Amino acid sequence: MTIVQFDGEKFVAALDSTRRARNMTWRKVADEAHVSASTLTRLSQGKRPDVDSLGALTHWAGLDTNAFYKTDVPTTTTEPLAKVTAYLRADPNLSDDGAKALEAILHATYEQFRKK
C-alpha cells in the first residue's frame, strides 16, 4: 500500500518565501489568493488546507502541489538543484551573474547539508 502525506510545513515555508519576496503581509496574501486569514492561521498551526484553499494558494504563489506530498514510493524526479537553477536563470529580476552566484552558493550549501 502506498502512503502519501501532505507536507504542510514545507507548503507554509514556500508560501512565506513568496510572501517575503513580494514584500506582503499575510493579510494581503489572503486577500490576493481569495482565502480567509483564518485559513492561513490554521496552516501556520500545522493544519492541512482544504482542496479549494490549496488550489487558490498554489495558484497565487505559482507553485506545483506535487512538491508538497511525501510518498513511500521512490520515483525518478528532477534533482532539486536543477529545479532551483532553472528558476534562478528564468528570474527576470536577476542578472546572469547574480543567478550564477546564487546557484554557486546553493550548490555549496546543499552539498554540505544533504543526506549521504
Tell me the domains of the chain and their CATH numbers: 4-71 (1.10.260.40), 80-113 (no CATH)
pLDDT of residue 75: 62
Query: How does pLDDT run across 61-108, given as a tens digit for each residue?
Result: 999 998 888 887 666 667 888 888 888 888 899 999 999 999 999 999
Could you give the angle at the alpha carbon of 96 between the alpha carbons of 95 and 99, nearest 5°?
A: 85
Q: Which pTM value belongs to this model?
A: 0.67
Residues 6+ apart with CB under 8 A from 101: none
Say what percent of the chain tops pLDDT 90: 62
